[in-house]
Amino acid sequence: MPSVEIYINGTFYPKEDAKISVYDHGLLYGDGVFEGMRSYSGRIFRLNEHLVRLYESAKAIQLTIPMTQADLGEAAKATLAHNKLVDAYIRLVITRGAGSLGLDPAKTSNPQVIIIVDHIELYPKDKYENGLDIITAATIRNHPAALNPRIKSLNYLNNILARIEGKLAGCSEALMLNHRGEVAECTGDNIFTIRHGSLFTPPIDAGILEGITRNAVIELARSIGMNVIEAAMTRHDIYVADECFLTGSAAEVIPVVKLDGRPIGDGAVGKVTKQLSEAFHRFVRQASA
């Protein structure tokens, strides 16, 4: 398979030669924003929604992206075409640019616009068929008064620490609670439960990222007549649920069958989860960019 080429500020570079300054604040301090997207049959799923969220994240940290939203969208499509990929994962990365070894963002210049297009396999195929075992991490989701979780920044260290907890427990994912002890989301995915035929998920003010795939699944559930409830949840709500699954651009829809060693429902992938997963895959194949 030929090596992918990376878009950096309007130029394509072989993956091995794609470089930015070691003085870039994105590297030194995690000072930047990103988006992860999927393409299906050569079309980027909900591209405009991802771009809106990216530009809102940038605005929230006072980072000016040096191109228009429309031009960045066209650059993402061009990078996909340049690499001759149709079903792929697309990562948009905007860094603050190179500066000094101090924190002052005013001393940086030349923000970097990076687009990576490649294949991704977040979880093995058998996990989609048999479901994930997850644990509750001791590391909480970012406190919204410190770094608002709705900002998709390059600083993901608390998520990484929670993922390490999961890996040490033999799990591929970990559930993160918010500062109130409520369910927020997993380290890279939003979470849903099904109980008595209704679909439940934490609200935005629980300290979650408002996932694009999350919103698509909510729309699909409502389109088939399901009652969808966005409300505060605790671990108890997951322990007693009939089914559970996660959503994300990279993960798509993946079932969860056990939390903290406790089987969810009968410990197998539920029929509603399967139904929504199948509906999602049909939908993304039909949707335009």
Tell whether 227 and 258 lie within a shared domain.
yes
Output the domain CATH number for residue 250.
Answer: 3.20.10.10
Residues 143 and 270 in one domain: yes
> pLDDT of 161-201, one tens digit each?
999 999 999 999 999 999 999 999 999 999 999 999 999 99
Can you tell me the mean pLDDT for 122-135? Answer: 95
Please indicate, yes or no, whether residues 136 and 242 belong to a single structural domain of this protein.
yes
Q: What SS3 string covers the chain?
A: CCCCEEEECCEEEEHHHCCCCCCEHHHHHCCEEEEEEEEECCEECCHHHHHHHHHHHHHHCCCCCCCCHHHHHHHHHHHHHHCCCCCEEEEEEEECCECCCCCCHHHCECCEEEEEEECCCCCCHHHHHHCEEEEECCCCCCCCCCCCCCCCECCCHHHHHHHHHHHHCCCCEEEEECCCCCEEEECCCEEEEEECCEEEECCHHHCCCCCHHHHHHHHHHHHCCCCEEECCCCHHHHHCCCEEEEEECCCEEEEEEEECCEECCCCCCCHHHHHHHHHHHHHHHHCCC
Q: Whole-number mean pLDDT of the chain? A: 95
Identify the domain boundary among 94, 118, 142. Answer: 118
> How many domains does the chain contain in total?
2
End residue of a domain, out of 95, 118, 141: 118
**Quick one: 130 and 192 in the same domain?**
yes
Question: Would you state the pLDDT for residue 21?
Answer: 97
Q: What is the pLDDT of residue 3?
A: 83
Q: What is the pLDDT of residues 81-105, one digit of tens each?
A: 999 999 999 999 999 999 989 999 9
Model confidence at 288: pLDDT above 70: no
Is the per-residue pLDDT at 207 higher than 60?
yes
Task: Report the pLDDT value the prediction gives residue 287, as an integer from 0 to 100.
Answer: 67
Range of the domain at 158: 125-286
Supply the pLDDT for residue 286. Answer: 82
Q: Calculate mean pLDDT across residues 107-113.
A: 96
Active-site annotation, residues: 152
